[in-house]
Amino acid sequence: MKVSIFSNNGQSSRKVATALHRGLTAAGITIDSLNPDIVVTVGGDGTLLSAFHHYNDRLDKVRFVGIHTGHLGFYTDWRDYEVNDLIQSLIRDNRQSVSYPLLNIEVEYADGTHSDQALALNESTIKKVSGTMVADVYIKGELFESFRGDGLCISTPTGSTAYNKSVGGAVLNPRFNAIQMAEIASINNLVFRTLGSPLIIPADEWIRIEPAEATDNVLMCDQLSIEGRPIKAISYRIARQRIAFAEYRHTHFWQRVESSFIGREAR
């Protein structure tokens, strides 16, 4: 087995990463950041998102494991004081895993240059730099609504608990192979009207967003941004690829939701 240790620069994370590196080496496990079988992230959900984008060309070959060194992470199953337990799980690994859907994003540019494709683990948002964003929204090739507001958020099921939730989207179990679109501060009055509710789109359908103005838009893909280029349209659908987590002690989705947003102390 080959393992990559992907850590943020925090002092506590670096300390855990060092202990993990030492323990894995002592156990005879190869450390390989170029062609790993397992990527262990040390930090939080942001660190895991960075690792996902770093290795997104190897998603069919790699599984992820997350250690959180701060507040409880949604994707991270292990605490910073459980390094030795994790090493023992890696030694006993039998390739057990659980996988989650990803979002495929295709961007067409109005200047005629080639289109770009990207993957998102959490979500993608499209907003206007200043003023109101106006855009036509198509579902499976048919015009659904003309949107006016701050922007639109398209998320995966696991990403439904992130920015999507903060703008009023539904929390979606990742057993559903679907994506979700939520409006961000839409304008609804006697002149302009949108549905005003989150939409759940199945795997055999897709969303296409065509901004009325190609310029001054900011497109986000998780933490990554695309700006400064004229956007003709963005298409979203369930990706062919999925992200896999090593299921040594993988927490059930609703347990994650309860721990992250409700907590036992609130009862």
Catalytic residue IDs? 45
* 185 annotated ligand binder: yes
CA distance 95 to 90: 10
> Which tokens go with 99?
């996988």
264 assigned binding-site residue: no
| 2 in a known ligand binding site | no
State how far the alpha carbon of 188 is from the alpha carbons of 22, 27, 145, 196, 255, in Å. Answer: 58, 61, 12, 8, 36
CA angle, 159 then 99 then 254, to 5°? 55
Strands 78-79 and 217-221, by their bridges, are unpaired
Q: Is 163 annotated as a binding residue?
A: yes
Q: How far is CA 109 from CA 106, 140, 169, 232, in A?
A: 10, 20, 28, 5
Contacts of 196 (CB under 8 A, 6+ apart): 183, 186, 188
Sequence-ordered list of residues with C-beta below 8 angstroms from that of 80, at least 6 positions apart, any chain? 12, 16, 42, 67, 68, 69
What is the C-alpha separation between 22 and 28, in angstroms, rounded? Answer: 10
End-to-end CA distance of the chain: 43
The amino acid occupying position 138 is Y
46 labeled binding residue: yes
Rounded CA-CA distance 169/199 in Å is: 8
165 is in an annotated binding site: yes
Q: Is 161 part of any known ligand binding site?
A: yes
As annotated, the binding site for NAD(+) includes 45-46, 122-123, 148, 150, 161-166, 185
